[in-house]
Amino acid sequence: MRIKVEELAALVHGTVEGDGKAYINNYAKIEEASDGCLTFLANPKYTHFIYTTQATAVLVRNDFVPEQPVKATMIRVEDPYETLAHLLNMVSAQAPEKKGIEQPVFTGEGTQVPVDAYIGAFAYIGANVTMGKNVKIYPQVYVGDNVTLGDDVILYPGVKVYHGCKIGNRCIVHAGSVIGGDGFGFAPKGDGTYEKIAQIGIVVLEDDVEIGSNTTIDRATMGATVIKRGVKLDNLIQIAHNVEIGESTVMAAQVGVAGSTKIGKHNMVGGQVGFSGHITVGDNNGIGAQSGIPNSVGSNQRILGTPGINALDFARQNVYFKRLPEMMSDIKALKKDIQELKKEK
């Protein structure tokens, strides 16, 4: 890629401040960029780097006001992060697409592979699998019987999709993830052992879902575990049986959601959050990292801590927690004074 700054700015409807004739040939983080690189400033924490960056051009917000001279050419846009994502997707789209069927590959009876599909070596595709257009199945993927794959689905190496599961259009599942393993269902018996409960449901991923590496989504005991349209799950997440996750909810790594919990739409969930089973979570919540959610939660809340509480209340509690040693010293001093007063009586 080699493009003039002014040409790139025209692609993203940006305004150039500086040398529009300079050339861009790479992308880099603002603190690591060198000559010829395009970078961006979206997080105020990184503002100081704009005065020292060696990048040729920097994407900044329309309302950004520098406090010092900026050597790099600035391209003013509405949202630098969103603009960068758009540009990176354009670059990615130029990469050669995988096509054809490598060998060896197993394809079960009743499965038709579309002519525009890519199937990597050592993939196993079961019987009566339905595939949409432009599906990409990378090496060592397992797709069980009666699975449905929509258009433009990508299954990266080592993904396992168990029988009967349904994956919608434009879904991406990264390496090592398991879709449709058995839910954790065991009935206690009188002798202290456990009897396995058959898990006869499926997993449904609606359109535009992306699943990170080594994430597991369990099939329902009955019915379906459902990941709604536009959900983005990070690496190493556990979604239990009969869970529902609402549209455009995002979850960072190591989140765990216990069985039959229903999570609404547009939630943002930090890393290592744990949800108890059989609860409901509303819409538009922000849940901070390592929070524990034992009970149902409404909508439009900011939650931190274990058990999760309002973020402002959590911050106040944290202030008191930091003062505990001082408060204990004060209490000990008060007890001593009280004892002395009792002696005087």
Q: Are residues 72 and 109 in the same domain?
A: no
Residue where a domain terminates, one of 63, 93, 123: 93
Active-site option among 48, 241, 266, 278: 241
- Residue 218 has φ and ψ, to the nearest 5°, of -80, 145
| DSSP 8-state symbol, 51 | G
Same domain, yes or no: 113 and 237: yes
Asked if 19 and 77 sit in the same domain, the reply is yes
Q: Answer yes or no: do 24 and 42 share one domain.
A: yes
202 beta partners: 224
**Residue span of the structural domain in which 326 resides:** 316-344
On whether both 83 and 164 belong to a single domain, the answer is no
State the angle between helix axes of 311-322 and 324-344 in degrees (0 to 180), rounded to the nearest 10: 50
pLDDT along the chain (345 residues), means of 10: 93 96 96 96 96 97 96 97 93 86 96 96 98 98 98 98 98 98 96 97 98 98 98 98 98 98 98 98 98 97 94 86 86 88 78
Whether residues 222 and 340 share a domain: the answer is: no
312-330: string of b/e by CB count within 10 Å (b at 16+)? Answer: eebeeeeeeeeeeeeeeee
Domain boundary, last residue among 93, 127, 159: 93
Do 43 and 143 fall into the same domain? no
CATH code of the domain containing 63: 3.40.1390.10
294 and 235 within one domain: yes
Q: Rounded distance, CA 248 to CA 268, Å?
A: 9
**122 and 89 housed in the same domain:** no
- Asked whether residue 287 falls in the same domain as residue 190, the answer is yes
| Residues 65, 252: Cα–Cα separation, whole Å | 32
Which residues does residue 78 pair with via DSSP β-bridges, in sequence order?
A: none
Q: How does DSSP assign 238-261, residue by residue?
A: EE-TT-EE-TT-EE-TT-EE-TT-
CA-based nearest residue to 173, from 128, 233, 219: 233
pLDDT for 1: 73
Considering Cα of 295, then 300, then 306, then 311, what sign does the dihedral take? negative
Q: Are residues 157 and 27 in the same domain?
A: no
For the record, the structure tokens of 242 come out as 């009969």
CA distance readout (Å), 208 to 31, 229, 276 = 32, 6, 26
**Whether residue 302 is found in the same domain as residue 157:** yes
Q: 64, 93, 122: which is the final residue of a domain?
A: 93
Q: Which pLDDT value is given to residue 345? A: 67
Number of domain units in the chain? 3
Q: Is 278 a catalytic residue?
A: no
Q: pTM surpassing 0.85?
A: yes
pLDDT of residue 163: 98
- In the prediction, which pLDDT does 222 show? 97
3-state secondary structure 133-168: CCCEECCCCEECCCCEECCCCEECCCCEECCCCEEC
Query: What φ, ψ does residue 323 adopt, rounded to 5°?
Result: -90, 0
